[in-house]
Amino acid sequence: MSTVLVIGASRGIGLEFVRQYLAGGARVIATVRDDPARQQLQALGAQVLKVDVAQPASVSGLAWQLDGEAIDIALYVAGVMSRGSATEPPTQPEFDRVMHANVLGAMQVIPQVAPLVAAASQGRGGRFVFLSSVMGQIGTVASSDCWLYRVSKAALNMAVASAQPSYPGVTMVAMHPGWVQTDMGGAGAPLGVTDSVRTMIRTLDALTPADRGRFLQHDGTPYLGW
């Protein structure tokens, strides 16, 4: 039985990853920030840990909560959106809110979780996937809308790519889930949560060491020149 860790599983894409991996027979460990989300995920059959990735003191305790685990697939799904453009600077509280959740949390999680993913490696190695966004691309930027969010996702992509050489037994990738019908993506998005997650799971299953450090679309197509 595979063990899957979903960091940021309270709702949307993270919650759907939990549902689909449980339905496929995996053992799922999920992190949430509050008790109502904990109860929901426990009812589904997941093992639930309470972690707020935006709070360094909270995420620093993840390693001891996972002590002794060997994780086949880890997913960093946690993240927050920020609106606004380059016509006005972000406030410090908003900058901290976005960068802590989208970047600092991931950078704190990597050295705690990647060794556990390496411990589960069998042949091709374990997989550690970070939900990013096409808005983190630098090569094709059409506007400054959501510019703080864009900056955070570009930084996340670099964090994944630069961490990869330190963990040769793990395949680490950043992945764009598509424009998905979530609280963040909005009801008008063309891709449903169920379809997005189903496609990403197929992509994860097909990852090879050649994908290490890459930025991929949900269907596995790499972003070139990002």
Residue 222 forms part of a structural domain:
no
Q: Provide the CATH number for the domain around residue 147.
A: 3.40.50.720
pLDDT given for residue 58 in this prediction: 94
Given the structure tokens 């598509």, which residue do they identify? 178
CA 39 to chain centre: 22
- Give the pLDDT confidence score for residue 145 in this predicted structure: 76
Do 156 and 77 contact (CB within 8 A), yes or no? no
Look at residue 159 and tell me whether its pLDDT is greater than 90.
yes
Residue 75 lies in a domain: yes
* Confidence class for position 99, pLDDT limits 50, 70, 90: very high
> What is the domain count for the chain?
1
- Say which amino acid occupies 49: L
Question: Is 224 inside a domain boundary?
Answer: no
- Among candidate residues 81, 56, 225, 51, the one with its CA nearest the CA of residue 153: 81
Q: What is the pLDDT of residue 185?
A: 54
Backbone phi, psi, residue 195, to 5°? -70, -40
pTM for the complete prediction? 0.92
| Gyration radius of the chain's alpha carbons | 16
- Residue 181 phi, psi (nearest 5): -75, 80
Model confidence pLDDT, tens digit, residues 45-62: 999 999 999 999 999 999
Query: 153 and 132 in contact (C-beta within 8 Å)?
Result: yes
Residue 199 domain-assigned (yes or no): yes
**Distance in angstroms (rounded) separating the CA atoms of residues 199 and 1:** 21
Does a structural domain hold residue 223?
no
The DSSP H or E segment spanning 47 is: strand 47-50
Which residue is associated with the tokens 């709702």? 11
- For residue 226, tell me if it sits in a domain: no
Domain for residue 225, yes or no?
no
Give a yes or no: residue 126 inside a domain: yes
Give per-residue pLDDT as tens, 107-139.
999 999 999 999 886 555 699 999 998 877 777
The pLDDT value recorded for residue 158 is 95
The CA dihedral of 211, 54, 153, 36, to the nearest 10 degrees, is 80
Q: How far is Cα 57 from Cα 118, in angstroms, rounded to an integer?
A: 25
**Rounded Cα–Cα distance for residues 219 and 13 (Å):** 15
The alpha carbon of 168 is separated from its chain's Cα centroid by a whole number of angstroms, namely 19
Domain holding 122, by residue range, is 3-217
Question: Looking at the DSSP assignment, which residues form a beta bridge with residue 173?
Answer: 129
pLDDT class of 67 with cuts at 50, 70, 90: very high
